[in-house]
Structure 1
Amino acid sequence: MKKTLTAILLSLAIACLAFVRPVLAADAASGAKIFSTNCAACHMGGRNVVVAQKTLKQDALEKYSMNSMEAIIHQVQNGKNAMPAFKGRLSDQQIEDVAAYVLEQAAKGWT
C-alpha cells in the first residue's frame, strides 16, 4: 500500500511538472525590435513626447517608481493617461522583453 501511494504521488508530481509553463527569460534584443515598432513614436531615445518629464531615463524611472520589471510590465499592459494599454496587442513575453530592453537602455543612458 505504501509503495502504491508513493508511486501515485511521484507520478502526479511528474505530471504536474511536465505541464507547467516554463518561466521564460526576458530578451532585451527582442524587446528592442518590439519597442521600435510599438513604443518609439512616443519614447524615441528614452524620451516622452507627451509628458516631457516622465522619460524612460534612469533618474525619471526611479523618481516615478518605474524602475522595475514589474512596474514597467504593469504600465505597458494597462497603459495610463495618454499611453494606451498593450495587453491583448502584445503577448506577455513581448511585454517582458520590452521591459527588459527599457531597463537595459536606462542603465546605459539610452546610448
Structure 2
Amino acid sequence: MTYRVRMLARLLLACVAVPLPALAASIMEGQQVYNQYCVGCHGAGGHAVLPNAPSFARGERLMQPDMVLLMSVKTGKMAMPAFNGILRDQQILDVIAYLRTLQR
C-alpha cells in the first residue's frame, strides 16, 4: 500500500470510530416532552395559554444559545418551576430543538 492509501484508510477508520454527539437533539422526542410538561402553560404550537407564559411561536424567546435556554429551564424562571431533576438535559435540549422548528 502506498502512503496515501494508508493515510486515507486511517482517516476513514477514525471517522467511523468517533461516536455521534451524545447531545444530538431529537425533535420528535422534544415534541413529546413539550406536550407532557410545557403545553399547559406555553400552549400547543408555542402559542402561550397563560398571560405571563412566553409564546414561542414567533421565536424572540429562542434567540438565546441552547445552553442559556437549558439553564433557564433547569433553574426555572418567574412562574415556571425548575425542571432540574425532573427532566434530563437531553430532554430539555430536545424540547429546545422542537421549539426552534415552530418558527419555520
TM-score w.r.t. structure 2 length?
Answer: 0.68
Deviation of 1:41 (Å): 0.2
Deviation of 1:71 (Å): 2.9
Alpha-carbon deviations, 1:25-64, whole Å to 9, x = none?
0111100000000000001131231416x31123532xxx
The structure with the greater share of residues assigned to helix is 1
Matching residue of 1:36: 35
Matching residue of 1:96: 93
Deviation of 1:86 (Å): 0.7
What percent identity do the matched residue pairs reach? 35
Alpha-carbon deviations, 1:57-92, whole Å to 9, x = none?
23532xxxx323223212211111100111110111
Instruction: Give 2:82's match in structure 1, choosing from 82, 85, 91.
Output: 85
Name the CA distance, whole Å, in 1 between partners of 2:72 and 2:25.
Answer: 16
Equivalences, count? 85
Name the CA distance, whole Å, in 2 between partners of 1:57 and 1:70.
Answer: 20
Runs of 4+ aligned residues of structure 1 deviating over 4 Å after TM superposition are none
One-letter code of the match for 1:90?
Answer: L
TM-score w.r.t. structure 1 length?
Answer: 0.64
Alignment RMSD = 2.5
Unaligned runs of 5+ in 2: 1-17
SS of the counterpart of 1:84?
Answer: coil
Unaligned runs of 5+ in 1: 1-17
Name the CA distance, whole Å, in 2 between partners of 1:41 and 1:84.
Answer: 13
